[in-house]
Structure formats: C-alpha cells, structure tokens
C-alpha cells in the first residue's frame, strides 16, 4: 500500500482550562478505511483493533485490514457478513443491518459484533472463534426490543453487555441492557443465552464500558454510563453498576454525577449543532448522534466518557469529556475542547495502559475539509486540560450530497487501545476524500504521546 507523506498541523483551539504543552501528540500511522455509499445517509462509523487486524463494521461493509500495512484482507457487505455467521442463514438482519458495532476483547481474544434489522428490527450478536476475524463467527438473536435499536456493546473480564433503545417515550427510561456472563458469550458452539438477563428502562444514552483489566475481581462492577439527553442540555451523568454472583447479575440504581455547568446539546431539528465544510458540501448535522454518549472506557478505578456539546448557542460544536471515580461517583475531571473557527464532532475516547487519555473526532470548518483529529491528556497533566488537537488525516474534499442543505455525518466513531502495544491508541473517523456524490470515507490513525514531539508524516492512500 502506497503512503503519501504530509505535514501534520496543530489546531489552535480554545480549551476551557489551561492547555498542557510539555509533550506533543504523535501520529504513528494512518491509512484509509472503508468507503460508501451505504444504504442510508449516515455512515455510523464503527471499528476496533486486534493483535494483527483492524476491522471496519459500518452501514455498508465488514472490512478486515492487516494492522501493519493497512492492506484490505477481506471485504464483505453487511448482509454477506451475517450470512456467514453460524448457524448459517439464521442470523441475517432484515432488510439492512442497522447500528452495527464491533469491539475486540483482549482478555478472551474474541471479537464481538452486533447489528439489527430495519423492516424486522431484531438484534443480533456475533462472536469470533479466535483473535483472527477472518476465521469462523458464531452468533445468536438477542431478546432486546424490536425497534430501531441504537445498539451499543461493552465487555469486561466477567461479562458482555449489549444496550439498545426500547421505545419508551421518557428519555430517562429509554434503554434496555442485556448482559451475559463472559464464558457464555464465548462458548465453543456460539453464545449461550440461558443465563442472560435484561435490565429495562435505563437512561436513553446508556453506554456499556470497555474494560480491559485482566485482574478485575469477579465481584467488581461492570459499568454503564449515560449522559443527560433531553431538553438540549447536558449538566449531569448517570452511572449504573452491574454485579455478578454465581453467573447471575444485578444492577444498581442510577447514581447521578453533576457536571460543573450546563452544556448545550441541541438536536437535529435546529441548525445550532451543524458543522461547516467548504462548498459545495452541505452542513454536517452533529446534534442527533453527536450529542449522545457513544464511547466509554474504564481504567484504574475510573470511568471515562465524552460527547458532543456546545458552551453557548453561538459557539462551535466541541467535545465534552469527563472522568468519574467508580467507587463513589466523584467527578475527578471535566474538560471541554472547542474552537472559534473549527467544528469538532462525533468524538470517541480510550485510555492507554499509562493512564493517558486519547480522543478522536472529525474536525471541519468553512475552509477545512472534514479531517481526522486526535487529542490527548497525559496522566500527569493538570485536571481538565487537553493537549492541542492534531490533524491526523487531512480531508481532501467536502462530503458531497447534491440537493441537500444539511446531512447526517455519522452517529458514532471509534477509539481503541492497541492490545499489542498498550501505549498506542487507534481511532476510526469519517473524513472527506471523494468527489463522488454520497460517497463517504473513513480513515484509521494510530497516535500516542511523544516526548520528542516528532511523528511520522503519513497520510492515507487515496
């Protein structure tokens, strides 16, 4: 795969707190992800990283890359992927696979994927048979509500959790969470659901955490985190704790965690959360999926999350991020990153083995094509600070959608810890790199803190 070199640029960004500057963020590698179009306007970017592979799993395709080169080893349509999941022909979403998600669990060395149908919105789970996503997958239909699902996945040493919408008219009761003991999820013949349990009427944006701690106690809680998701506001967070005992799970009441202030999270009915891109591209809607909490990570006794928000109705879309101590729900830090002349949308978060926080997102403006951006907070940085965002993969075109004033960009993105190099983080984001109408593009970027401030200057292949 040919790689073209570029000059990395630092974004001059307004941060709510003092910006740390002792080290720079280094882009270690980057390459192209999948391209559209899919069956719907929104990309719904999802992906994960394993020991030897990176996998895209979006509204259009299941794509396996060689991690060392970026070379595509296999590409299937969403339908083709589910057709090859065992039992063959029995786990195929109708008519299209919606809300696809995928994660890699380094503890069980398995990939977990989920999606739902549209005309018949059943929810499906697929589990790989090894750390190699090219090998056999087995799955099951999950007993989750049969509506347009907004599905989410999380895993820890003890269990697997899958959340989806339940259609409840009250946002405080809008999610169901299905949990399964880990050993049942990775059973040799495929997932065994006899001990699975459903917890109903949780907060709408409830997201299960990714927790790669290999020493986690059997009675330590699985964490679910939600942000306030109604009335265009985000002033508090909610934590649920799932506890396992002899293969049976129980869940706590929601613990409310107040933020220091109220942030704005307008929805798609108003242009207030729309991001800019250069002509002829339409505006990019960031108010629907962008304000939801879609990425949660557990490390060192804390849970970390982020979501799109605004500091005021007239400011640009930015990234709200936070760290909460699990034992007592104390808010340890809260940060907000935005810019007077750039939009940051659809963020996702992960934490490396040293406690350094990484966030990936799309950045764009009236003069900058949608690009992949990353930013980091070192474990010893002052609380609430964030290193200056770095353009990891530059956009080369606007996203074209003829005849539209504004369009959905994505509902998700993905940021992951590399299981082979726990100092390294990867992010998968949407960016602009095609002049074909409705052909969205994605790109992978690996990043970490660099004491020297130097980094490889790499752009994705076109």
Q: Which pLDDT score is estimated for 140?
A: 97
Q: What are the helix (H) ranges across 114-261? A: 182-185
Per-residue DSSP letter, 209: P
Residue 457 lies in a domain: no
- Pair 39, 418: CB distance under 8 Å: no
Q: What is the CATH number of the domain that holds 384?
A: 2.130.10.10
- Pair 211, 220: CB distance under 8 Å: no
CA separation, residue 215 to residues 97, 193, 301, 374 (Å): 35, 25, 12, 29
The backbone region for 99, taken as left when phi is positive above 0, alpha when psi lies in -120 to 50, beta otherwise, is: left
Q: Within the chain, which residues score under 50 in pLDDT?
A: 1-22, 452-462
Q: Which of 376, 411, 380 is nearest to 392 (CA)?
A: 376
Angle of CA points 196, 202, 203, to nearest 5°: 145
Q: Which pLDDT score is estimated for 97?
A: 87
Residue 322 lies in a domain: yes
Q: Which pLDDT score is estimated for 358?
A: 98
Q: Which pLDDT score is estimated for 451?
A: 67
Say how far apart CA 297 and CA 357 lie, in whole Å: 10
Q: Which pLDDT score is estimated for 40?
A: 83
DSSP H or E run through 82? helix 78-83
Report how many helices (DSSP H) and strands (DSSP E) the chain contains, helices first.
2, 33
Say how far apart CA 376 and CA 2 lie, in whole Å: 28
pTM here? 0.92
Residue 8 lies in a domain: no
Residue 187 lies in a domain: yes
Residue 146 lies in a domain: yes
Q: Which pLDDT score is estimated for 389?
A: 95
DSSP H or E run through 123? strand 123-128
For the chain, give the longest Cα–Cα distance.
Answer: 59
Q: Which pLDDT score is estimated for 461?
A: 32
The domain in which residue 108 lies consists of 14-450
Say how far apart CA 218 and CA 207 lie, in whole Å: 21
Using one digit for the tens of pLDDT, what is the confidence trace for 428-446?
A: 999 999 999 999 999 999 9
Q: Which of 177, 187, 212 is nearest to 49 (CA)?
A: 212
Residue 192 lies in a domain: yes
Residue 103 lies in a domain: yes
Structure tokens at 429: 């984001």
DSSP H or E run through 78? helix 78-83
Residues 6+ apart with CB under 8 A from 452: none
If one counts the domains in the chain, the total is: 1
**3-state SS assignment for residue 400:** coil
Residue 163 lies in a domain: yes
Residues 6+ apart with CB under 8 A from 311: 16, 263, 264, 318, 336, 338
Q: Which pLDDT score is estimated for 23?
A: 54
Say how far apart CA 206 and CA 162 lie, in whole Å: 10
Per-residue DSSP letter, 376: E
């Amino acid at each position: 795969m040919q790689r073209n070199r570029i000059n990395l640029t630092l974004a001059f960004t307004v941060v709510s707190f003092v910006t740390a500057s002792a080290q720079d963020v280094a882009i270690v590698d980057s390459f192209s992800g999948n391209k559209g179009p899919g069956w719907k306007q929104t990309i719904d970017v999802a992906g994960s990283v394993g020991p030897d592979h990176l996998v895209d799993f979006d509204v259009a395709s299941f794509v396996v890359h060689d991690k060392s080169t970026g070379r595509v080893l296999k590409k299937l349509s969403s339908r083709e992927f589910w057709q090859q999941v065992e039992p063959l022909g029995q786990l195929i979403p109708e008519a299209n696979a919606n809300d696809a998600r995928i994660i890699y669990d380094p503890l069980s060395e398995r990939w977990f994927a989920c999606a739902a149908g549209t005309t018949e919105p059943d929810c499906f789970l697929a589990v790989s048979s090894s750390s190699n996503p090219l090998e056999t997958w087995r799955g099951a239909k999950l007993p989750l509500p049969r509506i347009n699902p907004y599905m989410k996945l999380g895993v820890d040493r003890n269990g697997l959790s899958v959340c989806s919408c339940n259609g409840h008219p009250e946002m405080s009761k809008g999610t169901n969470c299905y949990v399964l003991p880990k050993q049942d999820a990775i059973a040799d013949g495929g997932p065994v659901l006899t001990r699975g349990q459903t917890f109903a009427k949780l907060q709408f944006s409830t997201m299960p955490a990714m927790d790669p701690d290999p020493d986690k106690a059997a009675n330590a809680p699985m964490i679910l985190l939600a942000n306030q998701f109604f009335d265009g506001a985000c002033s508090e967070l909610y934590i649920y704790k799932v506890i396992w005992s002899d293969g049976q799970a129980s869940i706590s009441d929601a613990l409310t965690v107040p933020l220091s202030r109220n942030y704005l999270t307008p929805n798609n009915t108003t242009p207030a959360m729309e991001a800019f891109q250069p002509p002829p591209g339409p505006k990019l809607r960031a108010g629907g999926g962008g304000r939801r909490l879609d990425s949660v990570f557990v490390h060192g006794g804390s849970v970390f999350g982020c979501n799109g928000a605004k500091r005021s109705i007239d400011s640009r879309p930015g990234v709200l991020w936070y760290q909460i101590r699990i034992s007592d729900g104390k808010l340890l830090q809260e940060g907000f990153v935005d810019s007077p002349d750039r939009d940051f949308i659809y963020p996702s978060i992960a934490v490396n083995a040293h406690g350094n926080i990484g966030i990936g997102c799309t950045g764009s403006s009236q003069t900058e094509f949608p690009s992949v951006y990353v930013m980091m907070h070192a474990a010893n940085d002052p609380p609430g600070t964030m290193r200056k965002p770095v353009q990891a993969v530059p956009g080369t075109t606007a996203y074209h959608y003829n005849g539209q004033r504004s369009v959905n960009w994505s509902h998700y993105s993905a940021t992951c810890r590399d299981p082979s190099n726990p100092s390294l983080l990867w992010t998968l984001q949407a960016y602009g790199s095609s002049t074909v109408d409705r052909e969205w593009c994605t790109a992978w970027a690996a990043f970490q803190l660099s004491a020297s401030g130097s980094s490889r200057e790499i752009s994705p292949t076109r």
